[in-house]
Structures are given as structure tokens and as C-alpha cells.
Structure 1
Amino acid sequence: MPAIIDKITNALHSSDSTASSAPAFDPSKVTVIYVLGGPGAGKGTQSARLVSDFGFCHLSAGDLLRAEQNREGSEYGSLIRTHIKEGTVVPMEVTIKLLQNAMKAALQDKAADPLWANGRGLFLIDGFPRKMDQALKFDEDVCPSSLVLFYATTEEVMLGRLLERGKTSGREDDNVESIKKRFRTYNEQTMPVINHYKALNQVAEIDSSGTVEEVHDQTYKTISKLLAAKPHDGAAEAQA
């Protein structure tokens, strides 16, 4: 992940966006799964398991933004720091460009892997989209998503996890005040995104209140069904 972050943060400022009537990536080759849930719901932990299970590339919108805010000379650094501190959403143009460039870098890096040959790829996008405009813009301009993994639990569980993480994470937003702001932002802006995809029958809701292993078992079964219903060409060729 760090190597990809370095590549895309540099590319963010060197690549010009061009108008296009088609998404940047072909959804028949590139599978995108949004991983959503409240702060502390377990998105990152389960995404890491899926990377090992299925060969996904895990992209955390939060990690990409934190890397960019600390990058020397970044024109977006101050803006991103302010939004993260306040628990509000960074402008979508910044986040989407970071994600698109990260996907491009991963496709280049993994091109020798049979699962990723000829522009194919499997992506978990963690913590994105957080607002409806982000969802619609990404689906239209970058790549339509195949599924939303929605990790649902209580704010009490999430708060406890985040405060425990804050003891060692060094993240300035892992404190009670920032966490409560993040909960409000999530309920007001991200839940409508989840409800939008529910209406399209594209949401797999998973109770993330249990142990890591229990949640992983549910997640593994869900992704196995998705990939079986939508075979990935690269996987089919690798097994041939």
C-alpha cells in the first residue's frame, strides 16, 4: 500500500483530467466493491482478510487522504487536515482522483499476475463513497461498483473500538470529540448512500458486532457468492 500511495500522490498533481463519456475502467474487467460502515465498524480489518482470501487490492480512501495531507508541497494538505479534524467530508474531486490514480497504479504493478492481466482487477474501496455525489461521480467516471459491503453495528461498539485504537494509532481524529462528529457525518451523509444501493439490490449487510473471525466468516461467504455469480475472467484463465 505505501508504494502505491507514493505513486498516486505524485500522479495526482501531474495528470490532467480529460472529459470522457465512458468510465475510466471497464466494469467487465474491473470489479469494484465499496466497503462501508460507521467509523470503527471493522472495514479495514475485514478488507485485509479479503486481500488474503481473494487477491483484492485494498484501497482505503482515508489512508490515501492522510498520505496526501502529509505530503510535502501538497496543495491539498491543509484542506484535508481541516476536514479530517472536523470529521467532515473532503471535496470529492480530490478523493476520486486519488482513488483513480491508485487503481491505475495497482493495475500496472500487478499486470504480470494472471488474475490481473489485460486490464483486469479486483478492488475493495474502503470508506468510500461517503456522500451521494461521490457515489454517482465515481460510478460514472471511474468504474461502476458491483457490490456494497455494509458493516453494521452500534455506535457504542464503534466508539469503544476507536478509543482503544487511539491509544496506539497516533491518529488525531481518534478522540471522543472527533469520533462523535464522524458519527453524525456518517448518519447524515453516508447512510443515504447505503440506502441508495439497497434500492438497487447491491448491498450485503453484515453484522460486525461479533469477533473478527465471526465477521470474516460472513464476509467470506458473501464475496464467494458474488464472484461465483460474476466470474472474473482472470480467475477463470488461471484455473484453465
Structure 2
Amino acid sequence: MSEILIKIDSDRSISDVFQDNCAALEANGFQPVTTHSLKDSKVVFVLGGPGSGKGTQCKRIVERYKVTHFSAGDLLRAEVASGSEKGKELEETMKEGKLVPLEVTLGLIEDAMKRSGDSPSFLIDGFPREINQGLEFERLITPCCVVLSYECSEEVMMQRPLERGKTSERADDNEETIKKRFHTFKESMMPVLNYYDKEGKLRKINDGL
């Protein structure tokens, strides 16, 4: 049985007193704080073209599982909204439907992971957009455990962002930019999907309904 009143002799060194404090607390069920390394994290990459529904599905996954979700695109848009010099450069790149420099995207994702409150699992939506992003992420942070790839027709992927653009006020939710994003997605995604397919980590999901 745990004791309610525990007397601790504090006429000693700080370290000795602290050790007795810890012993008293742990005897009553307290657990020490453990520092979680990003290297030990479980990471799921979520891929799909614009309007493929990956963001919606991520929200539903978070409701069921203990996982921290963030979108690479949302992190970039937040940087744009900050009005920083980096944000202004990113805005022009995103309007053209081009890929943002690797070190920028990777830095924003790593910062978000570190701010997550010691989360053990991450769902990263819209990343990697090219094979070098994935390889560098795995080299510097941790390998992913699975890659979810949402697939649907271009007709559906065009319709959804245009409908969203009526209320989202996103700079890239317009027909011209969406077409550019399609082109960039097709060019950059096949090597990524092929790589993770060979690694046995790719799971394809039809989200065209």
C-alpha cells in the first residue's frame, strides 16, 4: 500500500532530495517523462493528386487513431500567409504549380513534428512530391512505414478543387493552376510511387467515388 504522508529529509544535497522525491512519486504510480526521438516515430506518407480526397481521409483517420496529422501544403500556405520573404517566394512558386525547394518543405515538416508534443505517430499529407524529398526525409528524420496513394480520375480531381475554391480563397484553387499541378504531379509522382512499391510500402486506394 502506498503511503499518504512521506517525510523527506531536505537537509542534504539537492540531488539526494530529488532522488527521494522521485522514489515517493513513483511509489504512488507516477511515471517519469520519456523523451521521444523523431527517429522512433511511425510515419505514414499520404499521396494523391489535387482533389483526390487525401485531406478528407486524413481527418477521418485522426478521429480513429492516435496520430498527428499535418499537410505539407498547409504548412507552406501558412508560411505564405505569414508575409515573410520566404513566404512571398513560395507564393509565386505555388501559383505556377511548381515544386517548392526540398530544404524548405523538409524544414517546415521537421519543425511541425518537433512542435507536436512528443507524438509517436505522424500522418504527413501531400509528401513526398518527388523521390529526393522522400529519400532525404528518411535519411535525416526516419523511414516511413507505409505510403497511402489515393487515385481517381482527372475529371473528379478538377471538380473538387474548383468547388472548394468557391470558399477556400486558396491561390491554387483555380483551373489554370490545377492543370499545372496535374502536370507536375504526373511528372514527379511516378518515380515516388514506383520506389515505394518496390519497397513493399505502397497501398493504392481508389477515391474516385
TM range (shorter): 0.7 to 0.9
Q: Distance in 2 between matches of 1:40 and 1:160?
A: 8
Which has a greater percent of helix? 1
Give 3-state SS (helix, strand or coil) of 1:137's partner. helix
Give the greater-gyration-radius structure (CA): 2
Q: Mark the runs of 5 or more structure 2 residues left unpaired by the alignment.
A: 1-36
Aligned to 2:23: none
Q: Deviations over 1:187-207 (max 9, x none)?
A: 001222111101111101000
Give 3-state SS (helix, strand or coil) of 2:129's partner. coil
TM-score between the two structures when normalised by the length of structure 1: 0.70
Give 3-state SS (helix, strand or coil) of 1:34's partner. strand
Aligned to 2:46: 35
Q: Deviations over 1:89-145 (max 9, x none)?
A: 000101101100100110xx2x4xxxx4xxxx1100000100111111001101110
Aligned to 2:82: 71
Q: Distance in 2 between matches of 1:62 and 1:200?
A: 25
Aligned to 1:193: 192
Q: Deviations over 1:72-102 (max 9, x none)?
A: 4x23112110111000000010110110010
Q: Mark the runs of 5 or more structure 1 residues left unpaired by the alignment.
A: 1-23, 211-240
Q: Match of 2:71, as an amino acid? A: S
* Aligned-residue identity in percent: 49
1:56 Cα deviation after fit: 1.1
User: How many positions carry a matched residue from both structures?
Assistant: 173
Aligned to 2:171: 172
Aligned to 2:38: 25
Query: What CA RMSD, in Å, does the superposition of the two structures yield over aligned residues?
Result: 1.1
Q: Distance in 2 between matches of 1:75 and 1:93?
A: 16
Aligned to 1:55: 66
Q: Match of 2:144, as an amino acid? A: S
Aligned to 2:154: 155
Q: Deviations over 1:28-82 (max 9, x none)?
A: x31000000111000100000111110211110000000011214x231121101
Write the mapping of 1:64-103 to structure 2, written as runs, cut at 5 A.
64-72=75-83, 74-103=84-113
